């Protein structure tokens, strides 16, 4: 009997390629006659280019072209309104306007990357500069747009007889009000943005990292002014994304346009410093959370206001209360009010837990303050305000076991041994504290197409154009295929990362797995049905002329009428190399439910009394994320998310120079991210409770292989949401000092 790989700790199917260096990332792909590009960026944040001196660069060794704004030789075009969210709102090098410090104003193409880099340093520019808008206090606030799901971002729910959220707060026994500030943060993916563009007539093949391959190819086709079918994107191995590889940034269309103009392949790899500026960031923002409650901690009112940057060059609609304050806790009165300010900064972008991570830091910190104000234990406070329906929608959840997360996490962490008083534990020069926080993240079902093909050697190929950012997509597709077909994992070959394949689910919003797995199941079912049809209609089959309903597929074989054959044996008998079917899922789930993953974080920190240094020493996370497909990858994703949260809480910050608009810490020497020495062993527990609604009804175990829903739900970002607040709450417990502006650096604790 073949045991299903679902839920097991499975090694990555592409792991050997990666550890041996055989996996090719975007910049690793060769092409005959490749030329190399290097971009030149602006030194002002707002104004007009009055001149670009390219003479010295053109005279440098190996230089083929120098393109400078405004550049008539590189024909790039605006994109349609429907896909504006997948690009910046201007075409690079097409005009003389400067929109932010670090915008591309020129590009050198040479025979080698070193020659292009050296020549780019010789390009100089003059400007008519204007003062940039860089502060959230600089400009008028505008109301934020709707969420990505189309729902209004501002929400007001009032109990009968209550006139306003202010009235509800005034009627509360206890009111907590706290203001929070978060600076610019960056994705800092391991692989820098890189593009290789190769033209063949009017068709172009592009190697680049992308989280939504189909959208990436479509936007690139519009930028280049070619038919969508004339752009093939190959993105098989991607070194991290976190939201930063959703858009088509300026580098890809410039490389492709230069390759077209030159008539030879062009490769462009951004420097690390350029990536900080040209490939998005999480917007800086301020938040104000007000909580009103009874003396025993029962919430009466939740108000969450925010002001975030919206770069003039394009940006992410940051809604920090979305899926945090409007979701987590039961309250009769609720108000979320997000605003934005137009600033002259590089384009912002969604970043892991895009709304929820900053929103949860504010909400979960305020909840900790409410626990102090009411004298209620932080875990008990959350249980007293447990929401069985969405506070903003009134809809029940498809599946929710957050209360179990609290209880299991508290037990695993040893929460009951905690002394509630701040500064109660001292170990030499170290103050010890513990904190906790909730986590929540939406589960959205996206359209996805999957093809399953059975081959005559008893192997199968599962094909879908998703991308794997290091998150385990290759292996997830293989596991789902092996389970749906009832065959060993090693007999399944996944095909991903190529827009020539069936359009896959986007690798965004922790949605790739639960959007893809149901379509693998359906495609497997349809392929099995086609195999049965061939078995009864093909004259060479031993089942020719029988009823397909009498045949049963099980563990890679057909059975019926006293005969059994593997699908490979049958296909060989029929002289057919294979049989396949493609399933197409429209996305969306029944509207009567809310769909979220949930979790609880518990953290211990040590803070040096003399230096203010904070060290995380223990961390426990319990997550309710539906059925686990790959236990090893799931744990890895949760650990990675928590590490993101630790960086959010203690380290990550890119200071903005208000007078110049320059992001001042745009190198890995200055922008600090957690390293091994910063991270303890992280205890992760997965409830593994299948979601019975999101991906279709669960079976009872008696179904034919390929017909059951697995009940999976996304988990890539839930670890990031709330983990920073757990760290901050632990720092307060250790020191008695409440820090509401991240990162929590030593100077704020001295």
Active site residues: 717
Rounded (5°) CA angle 592-403-170: 80
The neighbour count for residue 48, using CB atoms within 10 Å, is 14
Instruction: Cis check for the bond before 743: say yes or no (omega within 30 of 0).
Output: yes
First to last CA, the chain: 63
Whether residue 700 contacts residue 710, with contact meaning beta carbons closer than 8 Å, is answered with no
Tokens of 195: 């593009």
| Distance, CA of 212 to CA of 209 (rounded, Å) | 9
Tokens of 431: 């103050």
Q: Write the CB contacts of 626 (distance below 8 Å, at least 6 apart in sequence).
A: 399, 443, 514, 597, 689, 690, 691, 694, 711, 712, 713
DSSP 210: -
| Distance, CA of 316 to CA of 220 (rounded, Å) | 19
Whether residue 176 contacts residue 369, with contact meaning beta carbons closer than 8 Å, is answered with yes
Instruction: Cis check for the bond before 70: say yes or no (omega within 30 of 0).
Output: yes
Whether residue 69 contacts residue 105, with contact meaning beta carbons closer than 8 Å, is answered with yes
585 SS3 class: strand
DSSP 745: -
| Distance, CA of 166 to CA of 162 (rounded, Å) | 9
C-alpha pair distances (Å), 544 with each of 527, 536, 555: 18, 4, 22
CA-CA-CA-CA torsion sign (61, 63, 69, 73): positive
Q: With b meaning 16 or more CB within 10 Å and e meaning fewer, what string describes 638-666?
A: bbbbbbbbbbbbbbbbbebeeebbbbebb
How far is it between the farthest Cα atoms of the chain?
A: 86
Tokens of 11: 């090694």
Tokens of 639: 């650990």
Checking DSSP bridges between strand 334-343 and strand 299-311, what pairing results, if any?
Answer: parallel
| Distance, CA of 596 to CA of 328 (rounded, Å) | 10
| Distance, CA of 651 to CA of 718 (rounded, Å) | 20
Chain-centroid distance, C-alpha 526: 31
| Distance, CA of 691 to CA of 524 (rounded, Å) | 21
Whether residue 92 contacts residue 76, with contact meaning beta carbons closer than 8 Å, is answered with yes
Whether residue 514 contacts residue 714, with contact meaning beta carbons closer than 8 Å, is answered with yes
| Distance, CA of 68 to CA of 51 (rounded, Å) | 9
Checking DSSP bridges between strand 492-495 and strand 682-686, what pairing results, if any?
Answer: unpaired
121 SS3 class: coil
The neighbour count for residue 562, using CB atoms within 10 Å, is 6
Whether residue 356 contacts residue 363, with contact meaning beta carbons closer than 8 Å, is answered with no
| Distance, CA of 504 to CA of 584 (rounded, Å) | 9
Whether residue 268 contacts residue 199, with contact meaning beta carbons closer than 8 Å, is answered with no
């Amino acid at each position: 009997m073949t045991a299903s790989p679902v839920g097991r700790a499975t090694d990555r199917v592409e792991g050997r390629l990666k550890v041996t260096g055989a996996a090719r990332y975007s910049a690793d792909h060769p092409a005959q006659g490749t030329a190399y590009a290097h971009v030149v960026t602006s030194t002002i944040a707002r104004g007009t280019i009055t001149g670009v001196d390219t003479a010295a660069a053109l005279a440098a060794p190996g230089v083929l072209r120098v393109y400078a704004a405004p550049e008539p030789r590189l024909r790039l075009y605006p994109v349609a309104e429907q896909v504006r969210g997948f690009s910046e709102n201007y075409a690079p090098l097409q005009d003389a306007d400067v929109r932010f410090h670090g915008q591309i104003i020129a590009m050198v193409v040479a025979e080698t990357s070193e020659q292009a880099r050296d020549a780019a340093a010789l390009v100089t520019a003059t400007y008519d500069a204007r003062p940039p808008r860089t502060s959230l206090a600089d400009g008028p606030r505008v109301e934020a747009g709707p969420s990505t799901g189309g729902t209004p971002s501002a929400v007001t729910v009032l109990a009968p007889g209550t006139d306003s959220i202010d009235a509800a707060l005034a009627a509360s026994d206890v009111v907590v009000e706290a203001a929070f500030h978060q600076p610019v943060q960056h994705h800092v993916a391991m692989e820098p943005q890189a593009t290789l563009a190769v033209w063949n007539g009017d068709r172009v093949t592009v190697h680049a990292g992308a989280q939504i391959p189909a959208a990436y190819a479509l936007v690139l086709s519009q930028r280049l002014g070619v038919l969508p079918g004339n752009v093939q994107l190959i993105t098989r191995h991607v070194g991290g994304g976190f939201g930063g590889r959703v858009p088509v940034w300026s580098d890809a269309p410039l490389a492709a346009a230069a390759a077209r103009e030159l008539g030879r392949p062009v490769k462009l790899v951004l420097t690390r410093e350029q990536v900080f500026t040209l490939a998005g960031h999480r917007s800086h923002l301020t938040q104000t959370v007000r909580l009103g409650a009874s003396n025993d901690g029962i919430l009466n009112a939740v108000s969450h206001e925010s002001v975030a940057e919206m770069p003039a060059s394009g940006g992410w609609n940051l809604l920090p209360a979305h899926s945090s304050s409007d979701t987590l806790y039961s309250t009769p009165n609720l108000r979320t009010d997000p605003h934005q300010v137009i600033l002259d900064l590089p384009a912002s972008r969604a970043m892991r837990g895009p709304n929820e991570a900053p929103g949860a830091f504010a909400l979960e910190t305020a909840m900790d303050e409410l626990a102090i104000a009411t004298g209620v234990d932080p875990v008990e406070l959350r249980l007293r305000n447990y929401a069985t329906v969405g506070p903003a929608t009134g809809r029940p959840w498809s599946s929710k076991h957050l209360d179990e997360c609290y209880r299991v996490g508290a037990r695993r962490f040893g929460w009951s041994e905690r002394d509630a008083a701040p500064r109660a534990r001292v170990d030499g020069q170290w103050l010890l504290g513990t904190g906790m926080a909730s986590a929540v993240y939406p589960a959205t079902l996206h359209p996805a197409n999957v093809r399953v093909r059975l081959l005559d050697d008893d192997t199968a190929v599962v094909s879908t154009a998703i991308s794997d950012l290091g998150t385990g997509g290759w292996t997830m597709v293989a596991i789902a295929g092996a389970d749906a077909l009832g065959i060993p994992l090693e007999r399944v070959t996944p095909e991903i990362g190529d827009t020539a394949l069936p359009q896959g689910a986007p690798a965004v919003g922790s949605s790739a797995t639960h959007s893809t797995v149901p379509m693998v199941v359906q495609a497997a079912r349809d392929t099995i049905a086609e195999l049965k049809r061939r078995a009864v209609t093909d004259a060479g089959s031993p089942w020719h002329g029988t009823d397909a309903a009498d045949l049963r597929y099980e563990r890679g074989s057909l059975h019926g009428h006293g005969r059994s054959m593997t699908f490979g044996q049958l296909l060989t008998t029929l002289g057919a190399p294979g049989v396949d079917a493609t399933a197409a899922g429209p996305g969306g789930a029944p509207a009567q439910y809310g769909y979220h993953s949930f979790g609880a974080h518990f953290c211990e920190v040590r803070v040096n009394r003399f230096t203010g240094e904070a060290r995380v020493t223990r961390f426990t996370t319990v997550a309710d994320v539906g059925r686990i497909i790959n236990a090893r990858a799931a744990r890895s994703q949760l650990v990675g998310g928590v590490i993101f949260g630790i960086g959010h809480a203690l380290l990550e910050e890119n200071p903005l120079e208000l007078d110049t608009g320059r992001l001042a810490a745009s190198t890995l020497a200055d922008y600090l991210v957690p390293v091994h020495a910063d991270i303890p062993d992280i205890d992760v527990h997965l409830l593994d409770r299948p979601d019975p609604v999101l991906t279709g009804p669960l079976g009872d175990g008696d179904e034919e292989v390929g017909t059951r829903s697995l009940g999976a739900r996304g988990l890539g970002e839930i670890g990031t949401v709330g983990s920073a607040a757990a760290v901050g709450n632990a720092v307060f417990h250790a020191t008695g000092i409440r820090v509401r502006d991240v990162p929590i650096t030593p100077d704020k604790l001295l």
